Structure 1
Amino acid sequence: MESNLETSGAARLGGRGTFALLAAHCAGMVDMVALPVWVGTLIGSYHLDPQEAGGLVTLFLAAAVASSVVFAPRLNRLPARASVSAGFGVAMLAFLSMAAVGDSYAAMAGLHAVAGFAVGCSLSFTHGTIGRSRNPHRLFAAAGLALGCFAIAFLGVTPGLVALHGGPILFRVFAGVMAVAAAVCAMAFPVLKAPHLEMSTAEPSFSPTVWSGMLGVACMAVTQAMVFSFVERIGVDRGFGLAAVTSVLIATGLVNLLPAPLAGFLELHVPARRVVLGGPLAQATLALVITQSSTLAPYAAAGAVFVAVMIFTHTFAFGVLARLDVTGRAVAATPAMLMTGAAVGPILGGTLVKFLGYGSLGIAAVLMAVAAMLCFSRLERRAVPAGASA
């Protein structure tokens, strides 16, 4: 009998099931970890121009968003373990094919779309299952910490492999990550029964409050991608020096290990609504410092913690959405929320920088923060911790 099979919608996961969810989260969110190496490899090893390289990654992200839109509403109607394993399996084959097709841009584009759709499917079921656990806030915080550790290992090894063996090795590494995730999930991904719905076999539509929370997360994701995509360029173009800018990026990776476990620790001590309202404000403030600084110290301090604000705030937002929608479908749409921002942010930021300069990114961040805070303001006013039951 499956050790992690549960009879209720809110499930207590065993160690094997929890490990499978963490592995699936790391594989599914690989774009957040690998984006600089990914784009750099397409430009340096495949000799694509920045627009072409960015276009391939945008195809991956757009396909993941479309996949999340398709599969998130079907979270409780399809077999999660089979869907997650199959998604990672298809992504593995797509990445292996990328390593073999050479310089064919059309083939690369099609394979990026296939990989993105497959990963989006797996990630939707992963986040939906986390959302239906007994404590989604704390489990999502653990997943954030796992992703931070994975990022350090990935970024510590992969650039050297690409320099030594060429561009195709990156896609073989991606394929290996997907293969491990597929195997782990096939053996241990949690199997949960659908939540009981009284008087109807149809799942209820999302409330306006849930939609507002989801839109607030998407607004923060746009700001995150819009500003962070240009952190390196801002530092270099303002004469801070490549070594100093690289040190800021390294510091960012180390700082990013902290917000997820901190959010888990503060779950019962800080009202979630206060966090999600303060997060966009802090994000916009840091964006202004990054884009307006003419000296290294404030730029470095704000740049090192910029991503951490999003991780911390999103952990609380994830817990709130999981509590408001017990079916898990809202948090199953997490890939759509985050990857929409990842796809839109760089294009929006690039357009603003091209015509208005780096300072315009800070102004745009303030406007997005206002939109996010308006969305989050519709969440319940009760100071209920994110891990409490509805």
Structure 2
Amino acid sequence: MHITPETGRGRATLMLCHVAGMVDLVALPVWVGTLAQHYGYDLEHAGMIVTAFLSGAVAASLAAAPLYNRLPRAACAFGGYGIAALAFLAASHVSGFGALVPLHLVAGIATGTALSVTHGTIGRSANPHRLFAMAGTSLGIGAVIFYGAVPPVVAAYGGSFLFLVFAGLMGAAALACTVGFPRVATGGRERAAAAPLPRAAWCAILGVACMALNQALTFSMLDRIGVLRGFGQDRVNGLLVVCGLVNLLPAAVAGLLQQRLNPVRVALVAAPVQAALALTVTLSADFLPYALAGAVYPAVLIFTHTFLFGLIARLDPSGRALASTPAMMMTGSAIGSALAGSVAMRAGFGGQALLAVVVGTAATLCFAFVARRATAQAPAAAPTRQ
């Protein structure tokens, strides 16, 4: 059987690989909170451990993305997720900073390599926007299960259980790659691999990275903000479950609205909205506004990134730009996890709020440049539509 991104087995494998590789998008607040509560690390050092994973993923993605069309993609996916599973399994048996950091770094490098070839393959599908929306919906389903099951079990059995969950998820993705990682057609798109990326694509990539940074700055501290404000761990855990339920919707809705909304306009609205929600989460002294903003906060990035994924696929049909998706997303996350802890300890949550506004402004400016380029190209494209 020739497995492609359009076959059922190929789609299922890519969706599982996406869920495993984007585990930080779901687990970040639980990850940091577990390291702080169960391992005794302060927010800065807890953020640094998570940053080791994310930095490894970024470095691997930056190395793998330009080589996407020459890599043995199925082998990279299987090997990457397999090595990550072993690294997290080892992390479940240690507790020292000097051991957790290198194990997280190895897991990040392996995951970043596997996720790069996964996203590049989604980008080479017949409809990247739709397939990425399906993958995002799968991540939302995984988030509901994760938030409902993992925090209570971690509270009962200890922080090592979190790393066992990560190991199991990575192992499942590795096994799926052995039987279902799809192949993509060769031909005209390979010739595009030698061409430089358009400036609009670079600006879209930078805008996504800025939104991912804002996501990590606030979402990684969501658990700690709620607990330190006195809202109670149980109510914060309940918020995470609601957050997972809400996140079932944005990717699916983005898939349905593919032909109705302009991706650049979506981004121009989403970046300021994300910053406003970050202000509410970090500055609110009452549980209700904190919870309402926190529940929808990740949905903004998931919804917007689905549209931008399709846009970047059109700007660069070779798949190289989308193979760098882990770098786009995790550069922000890598910086944000450690930066959020440092800012919170030195300038309080008010300092985090100010930083969110600065980063949100940078994202908006990036998308404004993309919009200007699109407007400049519109007159040339108009005769083609006649």
Secondary structure, counterpart of 1:211 in structure 2: helix
Q: Which residue of 2 aligns with 1:386?
A: none
Task: State the Cα distance separating 1:240 from its structure 2 match.
Answer: 4.4
Q: Which residue of 1 aligns with 2:76?
A: 83
Secondary structure, counterpart of 1:289 in structure 2: helix
1:121 aligns with 2:99: no
The match for 1:143 among 135, 143, 146 is 135
Q: Which residue of 1 aligns with 2:268?
A: 277
| Contact map agreement 1:197 1:203 (CA 8 A) in 2 | no
| Residues 213/57 of structure 1: CA separation in 2 closer, same or farther (3 Å cut) | same
Q: Which residue of 1 aligns with 2:208?
A: 217
Runs of 4+ with deviation above 6 angstroms: none
Q: 1:261-282: CA deviations, max 9, x gaps?
A: 0111111111111101111011
Aligned counterparts of 2:253 and 2:99: Cα–Cα separation in 1: 43
Aligned counterparts of 1:168 and 1:297: Cα–Cα separation in 2: 32
Task: State the Cα distance separating 1:166 from its structure 2 match.
Answer: 3.8
Structure 1 range deviating more: 113-122 or 158-167: 158-167
Aligned counterparts of 1:313 and 1:327: Cα–Cα separation in 2: 22
Task: State the Cα distance separating 1:349 from its structure 2 match.
Answer: 2.8
| Contact map agreement 1:64 1:121 (CA 8 A) in 2 | yes
Task: State the Cα distance separating 1:338 from its structure 2 match.
Answer: 0.9
Q: 1:131-175: CA deviations, max 9, x gaps?
A: 111111111111111011112222333334434544433333222
Runs (5+) with no aligned partner, structure 1: 5-11, 384-389
Structure 1 range deviating more: 209-218 or 374-383: 374-383
Secondary structure, counterpart of 2:306 in structure 1: helix
Aligned counterparts of 1:99 and 1:295: Cα–Cα separation in 2: 36
The match for 2:150 among 150, 158, 168 is 158
Q: Which residue of 1 aligns with 2:60?
A: 67
Aligned counterparts of 2:171 and 2:39: Cα–Cα separation in 1: 24
Q: 1:74-123: CA deviations, max 9, x gaps?
A: 111112111111111111222222234x3454333222111110000000
Aligned counterparts of 2:236 and 2:72: Cα–Cα separation in 1: 46
| Contact map agreement 1:210 1:324 (CA 8 A) in 2 | yes
| Contact map agreement 2:147 2:241 (CA 8 A) in 1 | no
RMSD, matched Cα:
2.6
Aligned counterparts of 2:179 and 2:38: Cα–Cα separation in 1: 36
Q: Which residue of 2 aligns with 1:266?
A: 257
Aligned counterparts of 2:60 and 2:21: Cα–Cα separation in 1: 12
Aligned counterparts of 2:339 and 2:46: Cα–Cα separation in 1: 16
Aligned counterparts of 2:233 and 2:160: Cα–Cα separation in 1: 27
| Contact map agreement 1:221 1:342 (CA 8 A) in 2 | yes
The match for 2:26 among 16, 20, 33 is 33
Higher helix proportion (structure 1 or 2): 2
Runs (5+) with no aligned partner, structure 2: 379-384
Structure 1 range deviating more: 132-141 or 360-369: 360-369
Listed as ranges, the matches of 1:1-390 within 5 Å are: 1-4=1-4, 13-100=6-93, 102-196=94-188, 203-379=194-370, 380-381=374-375
| Residues 241/59 of structure 1: CA separation in 2 closer, same or farther (3 Å cut) | closer
Aligned counterparts of 2:172 and 2:229: Cα–Cα separation in 1: 42
| Contact map agreement 1:91 1:116 (CA 8 A) in 2 | yes
Q: 1:338-369: CA deviations, max 9, x gaps?
A: 11111111333334333433233333222222
Aligned counterparts of 1:3 and 1:231: Cα–Cα separation in 2: 40
| Contact map agreement 2:87 2:107 (CA 8 A) in 1 | yes
Task: State the Cα distance separating 1:285 from its structure 2 match.
Answer: 1.9
| Contact map agreement 2:28 2:219 (CA 8 A) in 1 | no
- One-letter identity of the residue aligned with 2:80: G
Aligned counterparts of 1:240 and 1:43: Cα–Cα separation in 2: 17
Q: 1:18-55: CA deviations, max 9, x gaps?
A: 00000100111122222333334434444444433322
| Residues 243/90 of structure 1: CA separation in 2 closer, same or farther (3 Å cut) | closer
Q: How many residue pairs end up in the alignment?
A: 377
- One-letter identity of the residue aligned with 2:354: I
- One-letter identity of the residue aligned with 1:74: L
| Contact map agreement 2:92 2:163 (CA 8 A) in 1 | yes
Q: 1:192-233: CA deviations, max 9, x gaps?
A: 1344268x6962121211111100001111111112233344
- One-letter identity of the residue aligned with 1:112: H
Task: State the Cα distance separating 1:235 from its structure 2 match.
Answer: 3.8
Secondary structure, counterpart of 2:369 in structure 1: coil
Secondary structure, counterpart of 2:71 in structure 1: coil
TM-score by length of 1: 0.88
- One-letter identity of the residue aligned with 1:120: G
| Residues 154/250 of structure 1: CA separation in 2 closer, same or farther (3 Å cut) | closer
Q: Which residue of 2 aligns with 1:8?
A: none
- One-letter identity of the residue aligned with 1:366: V
